């Protein structure tokens, strides 16, 4: 994929859209539950969305291995993955929340938050990948 000014602008715009979506969802969830649940929901839904998009691409391309997929990915997928989902999901927020829980003496919550995100992220990415493949092959 050739990187040019238009591509960078598209990634930046996608990042802005992703950040706005994260803020909206986090705000809504935080009104009903602890802010850590909002971060978990954002990170897991972002992982699932990336898995879904990559699964659809894999099915369309005849099962290209993930490691070689991004180099051959259409620019729209790269903008979605790097821009939109890069702006949507956040590791830094997770890290800060885990540290704040730890410092507040909520050690179990901090560990559950960290492990839950780290272990659940790949699981929902795989689920999204499988759904993406199934949707494209079933179409």
pLDDT, one tens digit per residue, over 88-131 is: 987 877 887 888 889 889 999 999 989 988 898 899 999 998 99
Q: pLDDT tier at 70 (50, 70, 90 boundaries)?
A: low
The domain in which residue 25 lies consists of 5-138
Q: Residue 65: what pLDDT?
A: 59
Number of domains observed in the structure of the chain: 1
Left if phi > 0, otherwise alpha if psi is -120 to 50, otherwise beta: which for 86? alpha
Residues in binding site: 86, 89
Write down the pTM of the prediction: 0.76
Residues in binding site for Na(+): 86, 89
């Amino acid at each position: 994929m050739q990187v040019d000014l238009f591509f960078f602008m598209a990634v930046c715009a996608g990042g802005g859209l992703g950040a706005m979506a994260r803020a909206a969802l986090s705000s809504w969830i935080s009104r009903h539950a602890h802010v850590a649940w909002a971060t978990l929901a954002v990170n897991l839904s972002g992982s699932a969305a990336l898995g879904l998009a990559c699964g659809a691409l894999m099915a369309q391309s005849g099962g290209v291995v993930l490691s070689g997929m991004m180099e051959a990915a259409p620019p729209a997928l790269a903008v979605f993955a790097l821009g939109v989902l890069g702006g949507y999901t956040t590791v830094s927020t997770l890290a800060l929340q885990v540290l704040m829980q730890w410092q507040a003496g909520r050690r179990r919550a901090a560990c559950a938050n960290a492990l839950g995100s780290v272990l659940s992220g790949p699981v929902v990415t795989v689920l999204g990948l499988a759904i993406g493949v199934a949707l494209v092959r079933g179409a």
